[in-house]
């Protein structure tokens, strides 16, 4: 049985994953309209992955005797003008998700909830991968700068990448 405190923390993480999925969906649509089909495909796939992250939490909460709450979601912000700005936003977003996950992990330890601590390790590993990929993509974008053929290749290459 989950403690109230852990149940609340997991439901908060569920909101974060749902918002992530929603943001990636908005970013995918933005990229599609901006003429970057590869980036759009990457973002759509990542939106689906974030939904899976949300579902994983939902099932865990319910299976452990808690009550998962499906939240209402605000319209995501799409305020960037360039692809580099978009990926900067993405990295910043994933860093804040990692910080939240670390908070939940800390709470699991202080509550001596070792099962949830174990469950959360999957998220810890996933965030490591996501941040590494976002950093790598940003490094490439910074090298490309304003070079149009470089951007074309970036869009083509990202088409075949897993959303991490
Ligand atoms: Fe599931 Fe990228 O956070």
Higher pLDDT, 79 or 22: 22
The protein residue with its alpha carbon nearest to ligand 1, atom 1, reads 50
pLDDT (average), residues 4-31:
98
Is 114:108 a contact under the CB 8 Å cutoff?
Answer: yes
Domain ranges of the chain: 4-158
Q: For residue range 49-58, what is the model confidence (pLDDT) as tens digits? A: 999 999 999 9
CA of 127 to the centre of ligand 1 (A): 6
pLDDT average, residue stretch 11-33? 98
The DSSP annotation for the chain comes to ---HHHHHHHHHHHHHHHHHHHHHHHHHHHHHHTT-HHHHHHHHHHHHHHHHHHHHHHHHHHHTT----PPP-PPPP---SSHHHHHHHHHHHHHHHHHHHHHHHHHHHHTT-HHHHHHHHHHHHHHHHHHHHHHHHHHHHHHHTT-HHHHHHHHHHHTTS---
pTM value is: 0.95
CA of residue 84 to ligand 1 center, whole Å: 20
Ligand 1 shell residues, CB under 6 Å: 17, 20, 50, 53, 94, 97, 130
The confidence score (pLDDT) of residue 145 equals 93
Mean pLDDT of 124-137: 97
Which ligand 1 atom lies nearest to the CA of residue 123?
A: 1
Ligand 1 center to residue 34 CA distance, Å? Answer: 24
Closest residue to atom 2 of ligand 1, CA basis: 94
What is the CATH topology of the domain spanning 4-158?
Answer: Ferritin (1.20.1260)
């Amino acid at each position: 049985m989950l403690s109230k405190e852990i149940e609340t923390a997991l439901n908060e993480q569920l909101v974060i994953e749902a918002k992530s999925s929603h943001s990636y969906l908005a970013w995918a649509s933005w990229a599609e309209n901006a003429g970057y089909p590869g980036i759009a495909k990457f973002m759509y796939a990542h939106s689906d992955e974030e939904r899976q992250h949300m579902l994983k939490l939902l099932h865990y909460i319910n299976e452990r005797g808690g009550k998962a709450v499906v939240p209402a979601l605000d319209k995501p912000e799409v305020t960037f003008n360039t692809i580099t700005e978009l990926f900067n936003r993405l990295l910043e977003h994933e860093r804040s998700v990692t910080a939240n996950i670390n908070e939940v992990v800390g709470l699991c330890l202080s509550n001596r909830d070792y099962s949830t601590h174990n469950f959360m390790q999957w998220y810890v590993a996933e965030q490591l991968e996501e941040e590494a990929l976002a950093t790598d993509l940003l490094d490439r974008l910074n090298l490309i700068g304003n070079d149009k053929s470089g951007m074309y290749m970036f869009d083509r290459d990202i088409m075949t990448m897993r959303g991490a």
